[in-house]
Amino acid sequence: MRSMLQHHLRPDGTISFPDFLKVVNFLKELEKDKVGKIIDDHTDQNCCIPAREVCTFFRVCGFISKVQAERMEVQELVDQGDGQGSKYLGRAPIIDIWIRLHALLKETAVERERQYVLTNGGWTEYDYIDFKKAFHRFDEDMSDMLERDELVQAMDLLRGNVWRAQSSVNMMLSACGVDSERDVKVNFMSFLRLLKLIDEVETRHNLGITMGYSPERTDRLYSGFQALDQEGHGSVQKATLANAMRKATAKWCSQTQLSEALFPLGSNSAPVNFQGFLKVVKALENVVEGDWEECLDDICAWENSLGLDEEEGNVEEHLEAQTPTSTPSMKLNRMSSAVAGKMSLFT
């Protein structure tokens, strides 16, 4: 493929329209040959498939997943068969159906990737174009998959020092659901999720820095926050946080001091995000009597001993009823190194 492109390219790197059509037709024939070989591996020489079982046959061949097979537009396209109402289909019409189906799935996948960039990722159309360019630039075999070395190069191009400053490559891949113990192959959607993860971690670190926390301390606190945010919504109910804090800090501060720490969250019942959680921790740091690091250990280890009960839901009201009588006194923030917490990707 690469040699063919080089053959048709002009000295200035452009290609004429007739030569472009030749490349397109070559790719179509290449795809047909590839599909034909897979079909031959799953049928006898006569290759005669009932029209109503074509979708199942595609699943057996590994062309589509169960979820894709159940999509209405996929069912409709397959049900159309060869367009002539044939009850049985041979090799050629099955290949033609797959080519049309593949184009449909590719189109929907591109739109899904684009929407992910614009909505979940919080990026722009220009970001989408840049991500696509970087992905295809390092996809040397044009397989729509990046191997480990290709992935690292693409991330270096897009995120540079931010990417290299994060934890190990294996941890980042695992957070995206990629088995780092095997040969790493990342498609474009996983590539986008990895970018989003890197950006989220950087945002959290910057947030922690504004509150006087190192990236390591912020990761550790985020791990504790995730223990409460079990559904991955990025927030926890105020009552849940209050109950957890009460249990974790019982031997370190009084109920009045805890209510002072929770006071910045306000009197409404809106869910608490990670920034609000950090504010509570920061306030506790200023009122806890004793070793703050040990208290922090108790807070970050609460996933092992929460056991929150519904009958304890009145703790929030109890804390809100106690209006702080004084502003917590400030003291120096005692920073220490801590192991980085786990990272997760919200999709």
Single-letter amino acid, residue 296: L
Q: Which residue has the higher pLDDT, 226 or 182?
A: 226
Q: Which residues contact 327 (CB under 8 A, 6 or more apart)?
A: none
Q: Which residues contact 135 (CB under 8 A, 6 or more apart)?
A: 146, 154, 188, 191
Mean residue pLDDT of the chain comes to 76
Whole-number pLDDT of residue 135: 92
Query: Dihedral of CA 269/272/275/276: which sign?
Result: positive
Q: Are 163 and 173 in contact (CB under 8 A)?
A: no
- Residue among 74, 2, 63, 56 at smallest CA distance from 35: 63
- Residue among 215, 157, 122, 31 at smallest CA distance from 223: 215
As to burial, measured by CB atoms within 10 angstroms (0-12 exposed, 13-18 middle, 19+ buried), residue 145 is middle
* % of the chain beyond a pLDDT of 90: 4
Residue 280 and residue 237: Cα distance in Å, rounded?
14
State the average pLDDT over residues 273-284. 90
- Residue among 21, 88, 83, 29 at smallest CA distance from 54: 88
With bands split at pLDDT 50, 70 and 90, how would you rate the model's confidence at 24?
confident
What's the DSSP call for residue 146? E
Place of tokens 């931010």: 162
**What is the pTM for the complete model shown?**
0.60
- Residue among 310, 290, 295, 170 at smallest CA distance from 239: 310
Residue 306 pLDDT > 60, yes or no? no
- Each as own residue / partner, the long-range contacts of residues 143-149 (CB below 8 Å, 24 or more positions apart, any chain) are 144/187, 144/188, 145/185, 145/186, 145/187, 146/185, 146/186, 146/191, 147/183, 147/184, 147/185, 148/183, 148/184
User: What is the set of domains in the chain, with CATH numbers?
Assistant: 2-120 (no CATH), 125-207 (1.10.238), 212-321 (no CATH)
Q: Identify any residues that bridge with 186 across adjacent strands, giving them in sequence order.
A: 146
User: In 167-271, where does DSSP find H-type helix?
Assistant: 169-175, 188-210, 215-228, 238-248, 255-262
State the average pLDDT over residues 149-169. 73
Residue 94 and residue 96: Cα distance in Å, rounded?
5
Whole-number pLDDT of residue 209: 92
As to burial, measured by CB atoms within 10 angstroms (0-12 exposed, 13-18 middle, 19+ buried), residue 79 is exposed
Which of 67-76, 203-212, 318-327, 338-347 is predicted least confidently? 338-347
Q: Which residue has the higher pLDDT, 120 or 235?
A: 235
Q: Are 173 and 187 in contact (CB under 8 A)?
A: no
State the average pLDDT over residues 115-128. 83
Residue 57 and residue 99: Cα distance in Å, rounded?
15
In this structure, the number of other CB atoms found within 10 A of the CB of residue 202 comes to 16
Q: Are 275 and 207 in contact (CB under 8 A)?
A: yes
Q: Are 279 and 207 in contact (CB under 8 A)?
A: no
Residue 37 pLDDT > 60, yes or no? yes
Whole-number pLDDT of residue 336: 28
Q: Which residue has the higher pLDDT, 176 or 135?
A: 135
